Amino acid sequence: MKEPNNRPAQAKILRNFRKLHRITGALLFVFFFIVAITGSLLGWKKNSGGMIMAKSYKGSSTDLKDWLSIDSLYINACNYLKDSVSSDLSTEVDRIDIRKDKGMVKFVFTNHFTGLQVDGATGQILHIEKRRADYIEKIHDGSIIDFYFGWDGYFKLIYTSIMGLALMLFTITGFWLWYGPKRMRKHA
């Protein structure tokens, strides 16, 4: 018994997928370009020679009993930030990274992209860094818009949802655009 000819239906599906693929690609081209560039930069951040991500400097002691209190280290970091970097910068801390094995504490601030590496034992500033990797990451995931407009992560949520769904759509339609013609030839 001969199978019914599904070729017109398969061709219509292929045309619809091609159109959907093309329109979505055209609408989201700039965003995919940004995600590709920033993703590549983030992949290379530790191997950028300090251009994207600063190296971690070593403090004088890795033994925590020799360290100053976190409060004292924070006060030293804030004083240095205000006196030597800029008195206009906020001292509100986003996170404190304790690197015991390096004898160092990193202070990362909430409202700007300056980071300070502080010797855990002496409180001395080891390095001032521009946190380019954080900035690139915010561009990559769309949270840069939330950062500048003071939104509570809503843009990032919408942006990552759209980009994730678009990537799934491109994967499905791209596979079908590759596989569909092979299937049609096989059943011709």
Between 146 and 4, where is the model more confident? 146
State the pTM of this model. 0.82
Quote the DSSP letter at residue 57: P
Q: Which residues, in sequence order, are bridge partners of residue 98?
A: 105
- Find the distance separating the first CA and the last CA of the chain, reported in whole Å: 16
Other beta carbons within 10 Å of 168:
10
Residue 10 pLDDT: 81
Rounded Cα–Cα distance for residues 55 and 166 (Å): 36
pLDDT, one tens digit per residue, over 82-107 is: 999 999 999 999 999 999 999 999 99
Helices (H) and strands (E) in the chain, counts: 5, 4
Residue 2 pLDDT: 52
Q: Which residues, in sequence order, are bridge partners of residue 105?
A: 98, 118
pLDDT, one tens digit per residue, over 134-155 is: 999 999 999 999 999 999 999 9
Rounded Cα–Cα distance for residues 175 and 164 (Å): 17
Instruction: Count how many domains the chain has.
Output: 2
Q: Among 137, 156, 171, give the residue marking a domain's end.
A: 137
Same domain, 66 and 148: no
| Residue 169, pLDDT above cutoff 50 | yes
Domain range for 57 is: 46-137
| Residue 176, pLDDT above cutoff 90 | no
Between 99 and 181, where is the model more confident? 99
76 in any annotated domain: yes
Same domain, 131 and 150: no
| Residue 1, pLDDT above cutoff 90 | no
| Residue 3, pLDDT above cutoff 60 | no
Same domain, 92 and 173: no
pLDDT, one tens digit per residue, over 46-78 is: 999 999 999 999 999 999 999 999 999 999 999
Q: Which amino acid is at 66?
A: D
Residue 188 pLDDT: 66
Rounded Cα–Cα distance for residues 94 and 104 (Å): 17
Compute CA distances 158 → 24, 29, 31, 128, 130, whole Å: 16, 17, 13, 34, 28
Q: In what order do the strands lie in the sheet with 114-119?
A: 93-99, 104-109, 114-119, 125-130
164 in any annotated domain: yes
Other beta carbons within 10 Å of 39:
13
